């Protein structure tokens, strides 16, 4: 949670979005400087799950002072009127490519009981940490039905 912690991005990554080897869009922004030494993310699994719950429930839980619904909506569904993807209806954590939650649950039963009114929000992360000298993986998912 939060940006610019961990390893610096490789120099091959830039702010151009390309399709079929053609430049599609150039974003006129520059990255924040990467702190040195890198800031490590020491969030526990419980802390990450608690934050995700706060983000998912921000609309219903108006007493929650941690997350505003307007910000949570961008995280969960992607930014409205995106300059890069103007025709994309869904984005953010609602379109994660992992299917671990669906595989772990009886999604057909959930679909039947909820009459198709369910959604999974998910974020998969993977990367190397120089602090712990290893690759790490994390998956945060939340099912709403």
Structure confidence by residue, pLDDT tens digits, 98-119 = 888 888 888 899 999 999 999 9
Rounded distance between C-alpha atoms, residue 87 and residue 55, angstroms: 25
What residue has token string 């930014």? 79
- Asked if residue 22 has pLDDT above 80, the reply is no
What are the residues facing 137 on neighbouring strands? 126
* Residue 125 exposure: Cα atoms within 13 Å on the Cβ side: 16
Residue 3 reports pLDDT greater than 60: no
- Label residue 67 by pLDDT band (50, 70, 90): confident
Per-residue confidence at 61, pLDDT binned at 50, 70, 90? confident
- Chain centroid, CA 82 distance in Å: 16
pTM of the predicted model as reported, rounded to 2 decimal places: 0.66
């Amino acid at each position: 949670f939060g940006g610019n912690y961990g390893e610096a991005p490789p120099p091959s990554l830039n702010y151009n979005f390309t399709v079929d080897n053609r430049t599609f869009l150039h974003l006129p922004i520059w990255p924040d400087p990467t702190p040195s030494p890198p800031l490590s993310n020491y969030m526990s699994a419980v802390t990450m799950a608690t934050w995700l719950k706060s983000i998912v429930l921000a609309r219903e839980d108006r007493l929650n002072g941690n997350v505003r619904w307007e910000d949570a909506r961008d995280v969960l569904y992607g930014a409205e009127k995106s300059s890069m993807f103007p025709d994309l209806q869904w984005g953010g954590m609602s379109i994660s490519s992992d299917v671990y939650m669906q595989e772990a649950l009886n999604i057909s039963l959930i679909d039947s009981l909820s009459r198709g009114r369910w959604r999974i929000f998910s974020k998969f992360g993977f990367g190397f940490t120089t602090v712990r000298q290893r690759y790490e993986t994390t998956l945060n998912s939340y099912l709403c039905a």
